[in-house]
Structure 1
Amino acid sequence: MKFLKNALNRELSPLGVVSNDSQSKMAKSLGRTLGQSLDTIELDDFLQQCTTGTTDHDALICFIAARDMLVLWLHLHHYFAHEERPLIISYPVGINLPGVIVGAYQFRECADLVVCANSSEAELANSLYSDMSATPPRTTVTKLPIFGDKTDTAERISERLDKADRFVFFGQPDIPNLAEAEYIVSKLERLADQHRDKVFLIKPRFMRGEKFTAHKPKYNYETVFLEIVEKRERRLPNFAITFEPVESLISDGTVALSVSSTALLEAASSGIPAVALTDLGIRETLGNSYFMGSGMLRNLESLFGDEPYKVNSSWLEDKIGNQEVKLQLQAPKRSYNDSFWARNEFLPISELDRYARSKNRDISSFGDLVNDPDLFRSIIDSDGHRPIDRARALKRKKKYDEAIKISLNVVQEDPKNGLHMRNLVETYILKGSYGEAAKWLEKLKAHKGENFPPAVELTEMLTASQSAR
């Protein structure tokens, strides 16, 4: 990729590191926008590669959750000499909502170069990094490739809202809570009933069984949707769940709805009306306080009222940036010891879930992982390639038969292994083998009890999948 150069002005061979489909989308968008192709690899696969101490790439563009940057940094720290490791570039994967932005940039400090989505975030990052390290990472500002470049007037966007015939609600994994999500879906159903000439769609952030990274789903919008619509004798023909890609849903004749999803900025930057919902109020915990001053805050009822809709174009330009999408780098590799995290002994290990789950009881803090290479490698050897991790990775790649084979082998040796029973139920559901899923679900309940939370969740997943068949 010729757009990527190091401090010596030498062309680099970059690799995109991703953790889920939305991050892959960002990587592909970047390559497409720059007229280049960008090879990608899943984070877990790259971490496994790291244990060999070799890589064919001399730069990593990391489209991963902020905390996962520390995971990747730890692997490079223990398996690569400074001179041999690739350049680490941390790329944003969406908007940073109030209340989490400082924490997100804090974890990204371990990179050599931190890419910021706009100048305001770059100013915050530089201020933060100057306090964290005497030799902070470089920062650069680029417009995210998922954002459009239309400069339509607020009046024209307002006209599109009045003429829209499709309303798409973009769900988020951890905002709002379940009761609030049920309230929003119920209101959308009422609007669909009142406006039969319009189409109302719900786009969940994750499909059931899909891997999550930064945000653990608290519930599934499919389940919420099905529970609500099944109370009717007949489903409304204009109210449905969709798993179409975001970019195909954001099109002419559409209004994008959400509490605080990045999809709102994707829509608004493409000239599509976007509404940050205020039906639950405006507060930082909902993330919609991010949209204060945008002109996009309003409730569902007002979509069909006389209240004027006017996007603040200067606010939008500040948030999405007005510079080109580019990545010309002048970033030297930092020493491992330059990072704040090399000296932070007391980060609670619970902040890094994959190590907190380790059976190794010698870990008390992040410092143990940084300073004791033998301890770290023993964890990777014992936990990094567990059968359950391999089975889950195969499930994410939709290699269901291979995932099932691993879990069946484990359960044959250990008939009470709850982790693999759960994996079998979920994998059979995703494969569409509902009879096998039900069989293993009963075995899980017999072992763990009817009220075992994962068993309850899997029962709901199985019921919803069979209903949607």
Structure 2
Amino acid sequence: MPSPSPHDPPRVAVLADSDTRWKWGAHTARRLVPGAIPQGFLLRGRATPTARQLAESGADAGEAREITAADFLTELGRGTHQVLILACVGGTVQALLHALADVWKGDQQRPVVVTGYVGVVYEKLTDGLLLRHGADMVLANSPYDVRRFRAVYEGVRADASAVTECALPFLGGARHDVRPRGQDRPYRLVFAVQPSVPGSRADRAYLLERAMAHARRHPGREVIVKLRSRPGEQTTHVEELPYQRLAERARDRRPDNFSLAYGNMGEVLDTTDLLVTVSSTAALESLHRGIPTAILTDLGIREPLGNHYFTGSGCFASWDELDAGYRPEPETEWLADQGLAADPEQAYGPARERLSALLGAPRPPLTPYYTRRTAPGYLPGILARHDTVAPASTHRLLRQAARATYRTAAQRIAPIIRRWGQL
């Protein structure tokens, strides 16, 4: 491929391993490199998105194609891209960073590597961040995340300069308080469900029953359960108990103003008057647009649910309160700290400047925090689980781990056994 003109935008590749990460990666590419048409790669695996899921992501999937990790490394080795966005789970990002370090060894004009998070970061903060360390840019979606990310890196003596503030790339759409209102449609409550939260059948059935009960209590409203995937489709998180199946069993009790819906979340929010969820990232999209948003407390405010993240937001409410007409009012300071009060286009200014600086200078080798020196008992297992990504690094580190185990057995355990034998 010929070299781009100085006036052309950098060529961008996006590798994603699920529908939500494709949504984040494709939108990030367009925010970070205005005018770019990213080349999309879908990593073949458990959660490879279907054509329907890609269409509902709201990102143009015309250039996306399924690929194996090995073929992707070959593609990147051809040197046709200037920017690579890794929209993958942390372990995959770590394996790719090690593999790409081998592929690009000595290449000071290698692509700039960018990674980050799809939305709310409420669990495995330290683990996930260190698995992403080594990328040139680790995007943080808010001032709050910037502080947390840098504190983690600095707290383990890792370089924190890659942490770059931006915003969720898919924020946008018409503000709720300026949309035309009329008698053409009823008040609409949308319950945005999640694949794995809550996890138990009883909890999921309870939430579904409460949504139907709200519809019965308010016959003039529309109550819509916004679904993530169809049964059999996979998402970022495994959905073992789809709401569709629970709703089918309750079909005799479903009121006429209650329905299930698929579709792009941005388009659903266009006609939403109240968004209800446990802890979905959809809440951030809704709050950014000024749509009344309720974070449910019925199952408690607990770390496994992820709704603890919204502490201080002013958005907590129970179904009983919503039934009685309560509408939460978000705290303005919390919104600002979460990056929900700013113009997303302006929020990407610092990230674009950093990318431009990186593109204009020689790039040093990729240097992840985890190496055979810093994590000899952890990294080999990560690479072994992704041996199609970084086979050379995997086999090298596994050999080193085996030698270390042998030395321990020979030098420490064997003498103890011999002493036992002399008793």
Q: Same fold (TM over 0.5)?
A: yes
Contact 1:150 1:269 in 2 (8 A): no
Mean alpha-carbon deviation: is it higher for 313-322 or for 74-83?
A: 74-83
Q: Does 1:335 align with 2:361?
A: no
Report what 2:348 is aligned to: 325
RMSD over aligned CA atoms reads 3.7
Please report how far the alpha carbon of residue 294 of structure 1 lies from its aligned counterpart in structure 2 after TM superposition: 0.9
Alpha-carbon distance between aligned partners in 1 of 2:313 and 2:399, rounded to the nearest angstrom: 49
Report what 2:12 is aligned to: 14
Alpha-carbon distance between aligned partners in 2 of 1:57 and 1:357, rounded to the nearest angstrom: 22
Please report how far the alpha carbon of residue 133 of structure 1 lies from its aligned counterpart in structure 2 after TM superposition: 5.0
Please report how far the alpha carbon of residue 284 of structure 1 lies from its aligned counterpart in structure 2 after TM superposition: 1.3
Q: Does 1:112 align with 2:136?
A: yes
Alpha-carbon distance between aligned partners in 1 of 2:70 and 2:393, rounded to the nearest angstrom: 22
Structure 1 residues 355 and 22, CA gap change in structure 2 (3 angstroms): closer
Secondary structure of the 1:130 match is helix
Any residues of structure 2 matched to 1:130-279 within 5 Å, and which?
A: 130-132=154-156, 135-136=159-160, 138-148=162-172, 165-178=187-200, 179-213=202-236, 215-229=237-251, 232=252, 235-279=254-298
Report what 1:90 is aligned to: 115
Aligned partner of 2:335 among 316, 326, 331: 316
Alpha-carbon distance between aligned partners in 2 of 1:143 and 1:64, rounded to the nearest angstrom: 18
Alpha-carbon distance between aligned partners in 1 of 2:106 and 2:257, rounded to the nearest angstrom: 58
Secondary structure of the 1:205 match is coil
Q: Which amino acid aligns with 1:271?
A: G
- Return the TM-score normalized by structure 2: 0.72
Aligned sequence identity (%): 24
Please report how far the alpha carbon of residue 237 of structure 1 lies from its aligned counterpart in structure 2 after TM superposition: 2.2
Q: Which amino acid aligns with 1:167?
A: L
Alpha-carbon distance between aligned partners in 2 of 1:370 and 1:294, rounded to the nearest angstrom: 48
Contact 1:18 1:62 in 2 (8 A): yes
Contact 1:114 1:138 in 2 (8 A): yes
Alpha-carbon distance between aligned partners in 2 of 1:125 and 1:31, rounded to the nearest angstrom: 21
Q: Which amino acid aligns with 1:27?
A: G
Gaps of 5+ in 1: 1-8, 376-469
Q: Which amino acid aligns with 2:194?
A: Q
Alpha-carbon distance between aligned partners in 1 of 2:120 and 2:337, rounded to the nearest angstrom: 12
Alpha-carbon distance between aligned partners in 2 of 1:206 and 1:61, rounded to the nearest angstrom: 24
Please report how far the alpha carbon of residue 353 of structure 1 lies from its aligned counterpart in structure 2 after TM superposition: 8.8
Contact 2:190 2:272 in 1 (8 A): no
Mean alpha-carbon deviation: is it higher for 197-206 or for 75-84?
A: 75-84
Q: Which amino acid aligns with 1:314?
A: E
Q: Which amino acid aligns with 1:205?
A: R
Contact 1:347 1:367 in 2 (8 A): no
Please report how far the alpha carbon of residue 90 of structure 1 lies from its aligned counterpart in structure 2 after TM superposition: 0.7
Task: Give the structure with the higher percent helix.
Answer: 1
Secondary structure of the 1:260 match is coil
Contact 2:217 2:323 in 1 (8 A): no
Secondary structure of the 2:238 match is coil
Deviations 1:184-229 (A, max 9, x none): 011111122222221112122332232334x222322212222232
Alpha-carbon distance between aligned partners in 2 of 1:374 and 1:79, rounded to the nearest angstrom: 21
- Structure number with higher relative contact order (C-alpha < 8 Å, ≥ 6 residues apart): 2
Q: Which amino acid aligns with 2:91?
A: R
Report what 1:296 is aligned to: 315
Aligned partner of 1:125 among 130, 149, 152: 149
Structure 1 residues 40 and 356, CA gap change in structure 2 (3 angstroms): closer
Contact 1:168 1:255 in 2 (8 A): yes
Alpha-carbon distance between aligned partners in 1 of 2:399 and 2:364, rounded to the nearest angstrom: 20
Q: Does 1:38 align with 2:38?
A: yes
Q: Does 1:371 align with 2:369?
A: no
Structure 1 residues 341 and 262, CA gap change in structure 2 (3 angstroms): farther
Count the aligned residue pairs: 352
